[in-house]
Every structure is written in structure tokens, then in C-alpha cells.
Amino acid sequence: MSLLLVLDLAGTFVFALSGATAGVERRLDLFGILVLSFVAGNFGGITRDLMIGAVPPAGIGDWRYLAVSLLAGVITFYRYGAVDRLRSPVLLFDAAGLALFAVSGAHKALVFGLNPLMAALLGMLTGIGGGMVRDVLLANVPTVLRADIYATAALAGAAVVVVGELLKLPPTATTIVGALLCFGLRLMALRRGWHLPVARPERSPDQQQSRD
Amino acid sequence: MSLLLVLDLAGTFVFALSGATAGVERRLDLFGILVLSFVAGNFGGITRDLMIGAVPPAGIGDWRYLAVSLLAGVITFYRYGAVDRLRSPVLLFDAAGLALFAVSGAHKALVFGLNPLMAALLGMLTGIGGGMVRDVLLANVPTVLRADIYATAALAGAAVVVVGELLKLPPTATTIVGALLCFGLRLMALRRGWHLPVARPERSPDQQQSRD
Amino acid sequence: MSLLLVLDLAGTFVFALSGATAGVERRLDLFGILVLSFVAGNFGGITRDLMIGAVPPAGIGDWRYLAVSLLAGVITFYRYGAVDRLRSPVLLFDAAGLALFAVSGAHKALVFGLNPLMAALLGMLTGIGGGMVRDVLLANVPTVLRADIYATAALAGAAVVVVGELLKLPPTATTIVGALLCFGLRLMALRRGWHLPVARPERSPDQQQSRD
């Protein structure tokens, strides 16, 4: 559990970095950036905890989640230039955060007695939740809905944890393999521009009619 | 309960269809469409379950909700042309979904001991939640806030269930009447362009000043 | 507790007014305005209650929250001109609502056993939640992310309540002092245009690249 907590906090930290960076680019003030850091870093985990009945959620009940979120926000605010130059490492960390949240989310859901299929789903939601709310708050369509292999990678990582549990494999090993699989898939997608097929509407999307 | 479950899953299916169709029009990839299908189909019910303390929510704890959501997404993705030609039937199913969620939501809230007024309110929220989050994720103002009789129809259907409970009428009968009332109101509004009054700001909306 | 309930309902009322006014400016119909009034007035409190395990949330389980929300919506709809001329008083009430929710949120979180730091955080979230969801539903970047001292004021007010609890000071006194502090900070920020520092991206925000 201690290993998972460390990885979980690391995931919170890198998602908070992504929220703070997006906030700086939108010229938010310091507090807006800190709010966005906290929300991006903790929304996924808080949603997961509410759904499995773990109240209060760790992101609210444990001060360390707040601390790493604010740290990420403050660093980004005062050292935006440095963070911006780190673009490649940030994407690396972001993929790591996705991986860590996916496996820790699946693991926690299993502990709270969800069935295996739903534990994998909840692991995926934990991974993608933070980026989703970050984009919604900035009035953008969430990246997860548009991007190349992102939610797919999270689901794959979570599935490894769940299948390992079904086969009674040692949890530490499956956690590491699941996280590496998600991380690797996401990195490959970024490097090589992999993506899933897109449906072709027969009408142009500009001709969208209001449907209701 | 078995009848309600079938209707509930049917409601999930048609809301998932609406999410998937909106996703195709925005040119999301396959996974983005599946995520949007799941969220549109299940957000209302999950929110309702969290508020009445039914944890884990049915949308997370019962695989059938996931299955019908994904089915709707996959059908839309591979058969978009067919779904698009079905426009009128889809609106019909959408109205049916609103009706089914409104009555099943009110019913479930009563079972969990909410007072009657709030059960009707929660039934309405269950009905409108899915479409609301679908539009927010695509960075649109939710249709429910702009459209003709939509939330009103959901509230009317939920109210029938609640009033029936107060008068000790048979639940199956009031559920069917409530669903038909909501469905009918919504269809009539669509057919005839009914809508509620709109307030006329004295200033033009283009002159909006930031209020804060 | 009775005093807190009155203040809580007053806060709900003024946030509902802000939601309704924003809805009128977007030309929503009557029901859209009522939905937005309810959501803006109650989202913060409902989120708080879900996180501390107070189920069903007061905004759903107690009809008075619904009543004051609808009252605010109806008044705004039929008397928009009057509300619009009241612009300055509305901002006054909005600051009061922020203050009341921040202190009542922190108080309630302490009662439910959260640790002091997290109780202050949750008080702040209760205060800012309603305006945040109002803006998201209208597809805007939330004011709290952009504005001068807003979340900061809420946090300061909540912190007074929490520190008072730690020092065993009388709760009524610290509640009043916390609310006045938040209210005063927010008013001063509005009057004098105070704001927190903004980070300067080295690149123009117009050159934003998609980061993922």
C-alpha cells in the first residue's frame, strides 16, 4: 500500500502540473492556477472514492494530496519558463500519472468489492478524470475525447491489474506490469501519432443541426 | 422491478446513442465516442445513486449498463449513416429515455426514503443529467437549458409517480402513466415547437458585462 | 445551528439570483433559468455533503433549499429589469453568499470529523462551487479561475472558523468573524480592483499548442 500511495501522489503531482500549465497559458491568476492544479490532480480520485463509498475521499481527507497539488501549482507559476522547456518530460510524467492512477484506481475498486469488469472501468475513469475536468473548466472539449490512444491505454493498464487478481497473481507484480503497459502504450501513441479510427459523418460537421 | 430495469437499460441505450451521435459529428475517435456514450447514458443515474446513498451506483456496479452503452456507441460508430437517417426515431427514443429515467429515478428516490417533493426533483435530474453532461463535455450550453419543454416534461412524469405513491395507487400503473405523460409532452413540444416564455433583457445580451 | 441554516438559505438565494441573471442574459427559457438557479444555489453544498458522507445532501433532502432557489429564479425572470438595476446590491449579496457558504461549509466539515486543514479547503469549495458550475453550464471559463480575490476570500473566512475551533473559541463568534472577513476581502477586491499576480508565459497564449 505504501508503494501505491507514493505512486498515487506522484500521479497527483504530474496531473496538477498539467492543470497549472494550462492555467498559465489562459493567464489565470495565482489562485486560479492553484484551484485548477488541485482539481486536475484530485478529481479522478475523488470521483472514484465517492463511487466506491470511501468517504471522505482521500483527496479531501488526506492533506498530502493537497500539498503535492499546491506544490505543483506554485512551481509552475514561478518557474513557468522551466516547466515549458520541460515539455517532453511533462508528457512523459503525464503518461506516468495516467498509468499510476489507472492501476491504483483498479486496485482500490477491487478492495472495495466491485466486480472485475467494473473495477477496470473505474481504474480507467480515475486515470482520465483529472484531465477531463481540467479541460471542461477551461471550456475546451476534453483531450481524452479527441486524443490518440489515451483512455485505451488506461483501460489496458487497469485490465492487467484486474486479470492478475482473478488469476491470483501477486498484486505488486501485476501493478507494475499494468502501469508499464499503460505508460508504454501512451508513449508509443505520442511518438508515432497512433490513433483509433474516426467515423466519417456523411454530412459535414459544420452542418450540424440542433438535434433537440 | 424487473420491468423498471428493462426500461432503465432502454433509457441508457438511447441516451448513449445521442452521446455517440454527437461524438461522431465532432469527429471523435472510437474510444472518445465510447466514453461519451457511457457518460451520456449513465451520468444521470450515477448522480442519483450517489445522492441517495446507493453505493456503488448501478451504472458502475452492474455490467449491463456498461454493455448497452458500449453497444450503442459501436452501432453508431459503424452505422452512422443508418442512425443519422433514423433521426426522427432517435428523437422518439430520446423522449422515451427521458420519460423512463424520470419515473424510475422518482421511484428509486422514494424507495430510499426521500420526501415526495425531492423525489420528483431527483427523478427530473436523473432524466436530464445525461444530456447535460454530454453537452458540457462538448463545450456546448446544455440543450436542457435552452430547449422547449424538456425538463418540464421530466418533472411532470416524475410528479405522477410521486403523487401516485402519496395516494397509494398501484406503482406499476402510475409508472406507466407518468412515463407516457412525459413522453407525450416532449413529443408534442417537438412536433409543434411549444416552448416556455423567454425573459427579455432590457440590454442586448451582446452587451453583457462581466458581473464579477 | 438555526442561525447557520438561515444564513445558508440566504447564500443559496443569492447564488440562485446570480445563476438566474446569467440565464436571462443567455436568453434561456423559464425552466432553463429555474434549473440554473437551482444548480448555482445548491451545487457547492451538495458536493460538500457527498464528500463528508451526509446523504441525502441537504439541497436534495430539504425542500427549503429548492424553494429559495426557485423563488430567486422566478423573481429574476419576472423582474429582470429591477434585478439588473440592483447590480451593486447583487454583488454585495454575492459576496455575502460566498462568505456564508465558506463558514458554514467549514463548520459542517468539522462536525463530520474532517481534519482542520481539509475542513478549511472544503469550506472554500462549498463557497466557490455554485458559481463554478453556473459558468461551466454556460460554456464559460469559471469566474473563480479568472477573478480577483474570490477563492482566496472564501479560504480566509473558512480558515477563521477552523482556527477558532482549534483554539476552542466560541463557534458563533468565529463564524461571524470569518464571514465578515471573507465578505470584506471580496468587497475590497471589487471596489479597488485588487487581484493576485498573473504569471507571464514566455510564449503568447495565442500560440498555444495542443499539449497532448
User: Could you identify the residue written with the cell 507494475?
Assistant: A176
pLDDT in tens, B109-151: 888 888 888 889 889 988 888 888 888 888 888 877 876 678 8
Nearest to A126 by CA among C45, B60, B53: B60
Which pLDDT band holds residue A206 (cuts at 50, 70, 90)? very low
The sign one gets for the Cα dihedral B44, A36, A53, A3 is positive
Asked whether the beta carbons of residue A141 and residue B143 sit closer than 8 angstroms, the reply is: no
Q: Which residue of C has its CA nearest to A186?
A: C212
Q: Is there a contact between B29 and A146 if contact means CB atoms under 8 Å apart?
A: yes
Whether B35 and A146 lie within 8 Å, measured CB to CB: no
Rounded Cα gap, residues A77 and A71, in angstroms: 10
The interface predicted TM-score (ipTM) is: 0.75
Closest CA of chain B from A100, distance in Å:
20
Contacts of range B159-164, beta carbons closer than 8 Å, 24 or more positions apart:
B159/B106, B159/B120, B160/B103, B161/B103, B161/B106, B161/B107, B161/B110, B161/B119, B161/B120, B161/B123, B162/B106, B162/B110, B162/B116, B162/B117, B162/B119, B162/B120, B162/B123, B163/B116
Residue C154 and residue C128 in contact, taking contact as beta carbons nearer than 8 Å = yes
Chains that touch B (3 or more CB pairs under 8 A): A, C
As a whole number, mean pLDDT of residues B9-16 equals: 88
For chain A, say whether B145 makes contact (Cβ under 8 Å): no
Which residues, at least 6 apart from A143, have a Cβ–Cβ distance to it below 8 Å? A131, A135, A150, C210, C211, C212
Please tell me the distance from the alpha carbon of residue B5 to that of residue B107, in angstroms, as a whole number.
12
Q: Is residue C123 part of a domain?
A: yes
Q: Give the type of residue at B53.
A: G
DSSP A20-72: HHHHHHTT-BHHHHHHHHHHHHHHHHHHHHHHHT-SS-HHHH-HHHHHHHHHH
Question: What is the domain extent for residue B167?
Answer: 2-194
DSSP C198: B
Residue A148 in domain:
yes
Compute, in degrees rounded to 10, the torsion defined by CA atoms B141, B16, A130, C102: 50
Tens-of-pLDDT digits for all 212 residues of chain C?
Answer: 566 788 788 889 988 988 888 888 888 888 888 888 998 899 888 888 888 888 788 888 888 999 999 999 999 888 877 777 665 555 676 787 889 889 988 988 888 888 888 889 889 988 888 888 888 888 888 877 876 678 889 999 999 999 999 999 888 889 899 999 999 998 888 877 665 666 655 444 444 444 33
3-state secondary structure of B29: strand
Using an 8 Å Cβ cutoff, are B19 and B41 in contact? Answer: yes
The 10s digit of each residue's pLDDT in A157-201 is 999 999 999 999 888 889 899 999 999 998 888 877 665 666 655
Rounded Cα–Cα distance for residues B116 and A47 (Å): 28
Q: Is residue C29 classed as helix, strand or coil in its secondary structure?
A: strand
pLDDT by residue (tens digit) across A73-122?
999 888 877 776 665 555 676 787 889 889 988 988 888 888 888 889 88
- Shortest Cα distance, chain A CAs vs residue C160, angstroms: 18
Residue C202, in any domain of the structure: no
Q: Tally the domains of chain C.
A: 1
Distance of CA C74 to the CA centre of its chain: 20
> Residue B24 domain-assigned?
yes
Q: Compare A151 and B83 and report the one with higher pLDDT.
A: A151
Q: Is residue A113 part of a domain?
A: yes
Cα B7 from Cα B176, distance rounded (Å)? 11
Please state the φ and ψ torsions of residue C29, each to the nearest 5 degrees: -80, 175
Is residue A200 included in any domain, yes or no?
no
Residue C210's Cβ-count burial label (10 Å; 0-12, 13-18, 19+) is: exposed
Any domain includes B165: yes
Cβ–Cβ below 8 Å for A132 and B136 = no
The answer to whether residue A93 is domain-embedded is: yes
Beta carbons of C201 and A80 less than 8 Å apart: yes
Exposed / middle / buried, residue C2 (Cβ in 10 Å: 0-12, 13-18, 19+): exposed
B193 contact C CB<8A: no
